[in-house]
Structure 1
């Protein structure tokens, strides 16, 4: 029996939080900041936000209706498309209808189980290379280390190791682009042009511009035949077979940006939060390290490696429950519908919050406490109670890739190093699009004997 551990979460007020608070202070910078205690108990609540009716369903059945049972009625909101267009255009993440179906079919083949199995050696090699440069007793920012590692993996696994995609400059520009979302969100809600009026906004613009220009160069360098037989090469060839040249080029860049950004940022944060949770629970960390060593001894590059890590898998799943990679995502109703007792009108926004669902008191016992055994075999739950990768037809196409990557990287790092907290360091979640520890995650490293 391990000691009860409650990892940090933002403070909660007793009563409702005014809508305007979402656009000033910390709540404007951190999506999960400022919720009331009631938000983790109610089955549903609605809000009016700058003329939009926003529904927040908090029962798995209602979430299932939006994401699965009546998924065709709920599309990507216009405002989300406005926010995403400068960075990922009309790629898989931001498209709907036939365009989404065409792209999903093209992309899905690259993430089939056999394709992921073939990438385990890439995950393992990159994890080993990263950790070999560390030194005992160092104070290392593991958020930065995880981001650099997953960026290198994406570059190697999906883009044939293109050196332009694994630089410090690229990492800085991605962080700036993500941090600028809060400013652009307010402008989009007010119907204003997306103009960078602050220093953060200008950094975000430079970040988006850098990424789009770099990825356009990467794609154009592959033409006319797509180049190597990797994810990007197969994507380019399939798009040029399906679409006219100009549209195929645009969609190739859009999807390159989508998978480059989403493919490393969310996994890096999952690895980071898992290391934080283990650093605070040394006995559990030792158990996970022992499991990792045994699994690696049976084959460090073996495609079956993730299957030999049941404890670590449960820890990662609990990490994504407490700190979901994407804390919220939205849909917009095409036609009228009903979610429980709430009537949904055409044009209404339905906001799905893994952050609230994953910590909801009606769905979980002691929801703010860490308990990896929630995911032990035989423990049942509603399929839409736990949605770190979304759900329904639009469930994240790269979920298997991300899970195998996180497990492989963590296994190699835990087998070689132990991680301890930096004394006096406050850890708190931050971010509007994804959740990362504010200011990084410095940890103390000690080599395992």
Structure 2
């Protein structure tokens, strides 16, 4: 489909990189996708020394594949990441390594098998319809907030038995505060210092983290001793108690509850938000996916096959995650010496992998900053390197909830776009801001009209 070229907003880029210390102050400290130079989008490998760490920014798909898949055992979660995430996520699936990670992965994987995810599509549909029932035709609504509220309710209902403590505005505000504070806690983590709440952002983040940990601990304890209902949390508690001593099983249950509650809804909400933004700016594409959604829903509004009947919407969704990956970076640490792209890697070196950079890399994509969902037509996707596009990671640690996220995101978007048209708010600038995840700064106000 021929449409006018559209380049959605991204932060400005200097020709050459500035000094690394600037990354800990001002906008660069608050926004991880701000301040990158043009070199980061054209070179294959950048090596820097940062506060005593040797950091390799890996910008070549072969190197990414080597780290995440080919020699994955040599690249573990960095000590700094474990310190950074321990207060909120403990030793759950996202922050653990080795035997502990493998056992937790085995326990949770069955909950995200294809049949298990397909059975949840009616829940996704019901949540989408419930959220849109509150919209007023012709009104302006923050659709980033709506997406977050919807995915939070989906996670609470499908994984945690619909516990009302997880579906309040208070819980959503605390999550937002914890994530924003995470983006400003890098320097203390690098230096091995405690993350003291020396400003309002960090103070609110600590309150949010404490609220979530306390709420989830209460929820888990309420399920003891046998785990209660036959849902994700119940099965998790029973499996952990069968493998670990009671105290450790309890701690790991809370850690994984935090991991899946937080990461399970925030990332998908961001992908939905960016998709809606892009479609609001591209009415031709929006009308095309709306017609597809209407046809798909006419065959069954909440059956398991709905996501598969949305190939065009899926391409738009994937292009949104290319331009605005829900998690813009993740890191590994070398256990033993290795080589990447002709560069020597020493034990202890940090390998920093940025979907934000590779998804826009000039050597990998034609017109990389432009919106073009047809990049994901099957014949063009087949020509791409497996590790030039990886919004859910890759290798053994690929996101266990990837199928869940696709089915949830496509179902919510189909229900909303089939019934509603979204258009930009005049004079409202949309800016991406990277905390732990990548969000539209200040939300996403859009005008909605019933079709």
Distance 2:17 2:30 in 1: 19
Alpha-carbon separation, structure 2, partners of 1:409 and 1:43: 37
1:404 to 2:373 alignment: no
1:381 aligns with 2:384: yes
Residue in 2 that maps onto 1:212: 213
Distance 2:26 2:442 in 1: 17
The separation in 1 between residues aligned to 2:184 and 2:117, in whole angstroms, is 37
Q: How does 1:428-443 map to 2 (within 5 A)?
A: 428-443=431-446
* Mapping of residues 257-268 of structure 1, within 5 Å: 257-268=258-269
CA shift, 1:17, in A, is 2.2
Report whether the alignment pairs 1:427 with 2:436: no
Q: What does the per-residue CA deviation read over 1:104-152, in whole Å, with 9 as the maximum and x for residues that have no partner?
A: 0001000000000000000000000110111111110001100000000
1:432: how far off? 2.0
**How far, CA to CA, are the matches of 2:28 and 2:83 in structure 1?**
21
Aligned residue in 1 for 2:288: 287
Which is further off, 162-171 or 16-25?
16-25
The CA distance in 2 between the partners of 1:275 and 1:349, in whole Å, is 35
- Please give the alpha-carbon distance, in whole angstroms, between the structure 2 residues aligned to 1:44 and 1:424: 39
1:28 corresponds in structure 2 to: 29
Partner residue, 1:390: 393
Indicate if the aligned counterparts of 2:430 and 2:444 stay in contact, CA closer than 8 A. Answer: yes
Are the counterparts in 1 of residues 328 and 434 from structure 2 also a CA contact under 8 Å?
no
TM-score normalised by length of structure 1: 0.99
Q: Deviations over 1:356-401 (max 9, x none)?
A: 0000000000000000000001112110110100000000000000
1:38-437 maps to which residues of 2 (within 5 A)? Answer: 38-379=39-380, 380-437=383-440
Query: TM-score by structure 2 length?
Result: 0.99
- Distance in 1 between residues matched to 2:352 and 2:75, nearest whole Å: 11
- CA deviation digits over 1:219-258, x for unaligned, max 9? 0011111011111111111000111100000000000000
Q: Is the 8 A contact 2:148 2:266 kept in 1?
A: yes
SS in 2 for 1:378: helix
Cα deviation code 1:31-68 (max 9, x no counterpart): 11010111100011011110000001111000001000
Match of 1:83, SS state, is helix
Q: What is the distance in 1 between the residues matched to 2:126 and 2:332?
A: 39
1:22 aligned counterpart, secondary structure:
helix
**C-alpha deviation, 1:91, in angstroms:** 0.1
Which deviates more from structure 2 when the two are superposed, residues 197-206 or residues 255-264? Answer: 197-206
Please give the per-residue CA displacement for 1:250-300, whole angstroms capped at 9, x wherever unaligned: 000000000000000000000000000000001110111000000000001
- Give the total of aligned pairs: 448
Secondary structure of 2:183's match? Answer: helix
| Aligned 8 A contact 2:76 2:332 in 1 | yes
Deviation at 1:181, TM superposition (A): 1.4
Cα RMSD for the two superposed structures: 0.6
**SS of match in other structure, 1:180:** helix
**Whole-angstrom distance in 2 between the partners of 1:53 and 1:294:** 53
- Secondary structure at the aligned position of 2:300 is classed as coil
Q: Which residue of 2 aligns with 1:17?
A: 18
Cα distance in structure 2, aligned partners of 1:280 and 1:346: 47
- 1:195, distance to aligned residue in structure 2 (A): 1.3
Alpha-carbon offset, residue 20 of structure 1: 1.0
Q: Deviations over 1:58-82 (max 9, x none)?
A: 1100000100000000000000000
1:196 to partner: Cα distance: 1.2
CA contact (8 A) 2:32 2:183 kept: no
Q: Which runs of 5+ in 2 are unaligned?
A: none
1:188-223 residue CA offsets vs partner (Å, 9 max, x unmatched): 112212211111111011000000000000100111
Shift of 1:326: 0.4
1:431 is displaced (CA, Å) by: 2.5
The runs of at least 4 consecutive aligned structure 1 residues that moved more than 3 Å come to none
Work out the CA distance in 1 between the residues paired with 2:189 and 2:298: 52
2:185 match: secondary structure: helix
Structure 2 counterpart SS, 1:28:
helix
SS of equivalent residue, structure 1 residue 446? strand
Give the whole-Å Cα distance in 1 for the aligned partners of 2:315 and 2:227.
39
Q: Distance in 1 between matches of 2:27 and 2:433?
A: 9
